[in-house]
Amino acid sequence: MARMRGSLRGAFTNMHVPMPLRRKLFLMARNSWIKVRTGSSCCGHPGEPGC
């Protein structure tokens, strides 16, 4: 459970990246889906929203 909480916190921390909101939401959804699909705690795109 702690690992899930840590990755969720990181996903929202990365939302401070300067880019349009629509792009942030798209990247967050895409990167979160990659993490769910692979069962990993990282999507492979560090620093992007959702990773």
Contact (Cβ atoms closer than 8 angstroms) between residue 49 and residue 27? yes
- Residue 26, pLDDT score: 92
Amino acid at 11: A
> Could you report the per-residue pLDDT of 1-51, keeping only the tens digit for each?
344 445 667 666 777 778 898 998 898 899 889 888 888 888 888 878 877
Contact (Cβ atoms closer than 8 angstroms) between residue 33 and residue 40? no
- Residue 17, pLDDT score: 77
- Residue 49, pLDDT score: 81
- What the block records as the tokens of 28 is 């967050």
